[in-house]
Copies of this chain bind each other. A is one copy, B any other.
């Protein structure tokens, strides 16, 4: 048996948390999840909404110990972790609202009618849960994208049991959050097996290979995602894999914006790429700034802010090592200049120096734009819109694309919008890509390699990933789900092609 331990990134000190889950235990956990699935679905939307709100309550009731545990394992700091816990509870409650509102079911009724092809039957369609979902959380959000995070609560909301794989970077936090969730489930009498947790890399691989598992939610690296995709490729039954993988998040500063507010933008950029030690999936990894005096002011302001930044502690040794390697490669590339450095680390642990690099836009290469997790960004200077467009065309797709522009640059902004919209899931204007609100209109996704799905992993529509449609044809009323019976009138439904919203 291998012991799973959490490591304090500030000191490197290790604390035992759990034993690695064996393959036999994984099979038991997924079998329990499969057994629980029908009962959990039948408990209905109201029950699941209650469960999600109870999970939020339990997380908040244990706020102090969860934040303390997470801080010890991640060095993220109590302020951001308290914010993350608030966000995690808010997210669970928002999915409860999604359940109450009911549109997510896509309930649709076509009454029997004559068609040009002859008489048509009575057809009633809605979305149903797909079955047990495996969730692999992220190192950088030990709560909001991990055990009690968006993948887990959207899969639960959809009516699916969830088995989480505890992240090796914060196992004790995973366990604490899992205990909060199971306490809520027990209190409400949810079926056993609705929530499961496994520890260890081999257990994670067994989980993805397990025939009871019907989908996988993953937030992490392209390499980690690819390894799980390979396991799925060897399954008898292929299942959807929702991976949030890799993102450069380009930011464009137009000549107009540089001239009008270069200093503010430069300082804001420095803040955006160093916040949370640059360990956000929406960190701006590449910034396009025009050549010339106005652009110089953007760079100077960014450099000044970076210079005043301390040495943040990274989440774990792997990220620490990788940051060193990628930043050395980028620095060592002939075309790249160091524009500013933050503070030097003092003593042990995984602290690093924030780094602002510069390059000519025409010298951008895949090596220079390699995604780097941590406080590093590259400013690429461009001479003309044409040069900017050429450089953007060569970039991989991202979760986000950001542009700072002035009101009178309408033609330029339309062109940049079209370019960024083709390469990103969210286009941000006069702001920064970091900070992803959990809401109805949010998209945290984008074309490959940002993700491999046509869905968001943040926001209410993330629930669609864990549902499939079923149609009942000429069904007697008593076998239909309540939401499809003729008289049900509390959720929006499409009836004979027309969307009908209940009057509230």
Contact = CB atoms under 8 A, between A and B. Distances in A.
B473 A108 contact: no
Interface residues of A, number: 80
A301 interface: no
B479 A106 contact: no
B473 A110 contact: no
A469 B443 contact: yes
A123 B479 contact: no
B110 A479 contact: no
Given A437-B123, A470-B425, A117 B103 contact: no
A97 interface: yes
Contacts of A38: 418, 422
A469 B27 CA distance: 36
B425 A447 contact: no
A157 to B, nearest CB: 15
Residue from A430, A467, A499 whose CB has the most chain B CB atoms within 10 Å = A499
Given A441-B108, A479-B413, A468 B494 contact: no
A425 B233 contact: no
A486 interface: no
A348 interface: no
Copies per complex of this chain: 2
Interface of A is mostly: mixed
B448 A237 contact: yes
Given A240-B454, A427-B472, A441 B109 contact: yes
Interface in A403-450: 407, 410, 413-414, 417-418, 421-422, 424-431, 437, 439-443, 445, 447-449
A474 to B, nearest CB: 5
A226 to B, nearest CB: 10
A108 to B, nearest CB: 4
Contacts of A449: 237
Contacts of A117: 83, 86-87, 90, 437
A471 B440 CA distance: 10
Contacts of A430: 474
Contacts of A479: 413-414, 417, 429
Contacts of A497: 97, 101, 440
24 contacts: A87-B116, A90-B117, A101-B497, A101-B499, A103-B494, A109-B441, A110-B439, A121-B437, A123-B439, A125-B440, A125-B442, A125-B443, A125-B461, A238-B448, A414-B478, A417-B475, A426-B470, A428-B473, A429-B473, A429-B474, A430-B474, A454-B467, A499-B501, A500-B501
